[in-house]
Amino acid sequence: MRRSSPRIAIIVFPGSNDERDAAWALRALGAEPRLVWHAERALGDVSAVVLPGGFSYGDYLRAGAIARFSPAMGAVRDFAASGGIVLGICNGFQILCEAGLLPGALRPNASLSFVCRDVSLRVERADTPFTARCRPGQALTIPVKHGEGSFVLEDGAACAEQVVLRYEAGDNPNGAFDDIAAVVNGKGNVMGLMPHPEHAVDTLLGSADGAFILGSLVDAACEREPAPTAA
């Protein structure tokens, strides 16, 4: 029996600072968020996973490089391998790349400075669990806040079909290759993005466009039976 309010795990690493914002946004969109400490080896009875923004382990070595070894990431890998829906936001995106769950890597911004502002995005794919509420070509306004958000790929052509969001022309805040703001894995069930949709779900904050992303995630989680996990 499916829940009307899907349970979504939010992995909390040392240095995470957006987990409660993500929880608030998901709850506002009808989900039941559950904060999962990084040392836990099981996710529990959940229908989706979110890796939130922040500075896991202080971004030492490089962003996400240490967090990928956290015990919870083993459970996240297994969950993703079973078809589970996983979203990485900002630092979460960096962690997913470091863990090999997404292609590419994130390097320091081209400006070598921290960037915090709204950006204009273009939806390239609306056929993913993260963009089903969108339409192709739709414009979204969502904030970014990062110092290491320049997405790079060894073979951009090979991953062209995995691009979900791009920065609009002239609004690339970090020098990302081909204006890429979000990508999915080959199966389409894991996505990472540098913008913060959890900070854009209420017009009081300037934009509610993040609800297109997180609302799609909640919808997809509603359709998925919780994956069995080890005790």
Q: How far apart are CA 31 and CA 37, in angstroms?
A: 19
Active-site residue, selected from the candidate residues 19, 134, 159, 196: 196
* Longest CA span, the chain: 50
Degrees to nearest 5, angle at CA 84 with 58 and 123? 75
What is the DSSP code (8-state) at residue 125? -
The verdict on whether 32 is a catalytic residue reads no
Do 153 and 129 contact (CB within 8 A), yes or no? no
Please name the residues in contact with 170: beta carbons below 8 A apart, sequence gap of 6 or more. none
159 annotated active-site = no
| CA atoms of 95 and 20, how far apart (whole Å) | 18
- The residue from 90, 97, 134, 159 that is catalytic is 90
For the record, the structure tokens of 28 come out as: 């506002």
Contact (Cβ atoms closer than 8 angstroms) between residue 153 and residue 103:
yes
196 as an active site residue: the answer is: yes
User: Which residue in 38, 148, 198, 199 is the catalytic one?
Assistant: 198
Q: Which of 80, 53, 78, 28 is nearest to 218 (CA)?
A: 28
Residue the block writes with tokens 């863990």:
99
* DSSP 8-state assignment for residue 174: S
Spell out the residues 6+ positions from residue 20 whose beta carbon is closer than 8 angstroms to its own. Answer: none
What are the tokens at 171? 């609004």
Name the residues annotated as catalytic: 90, 196, 198
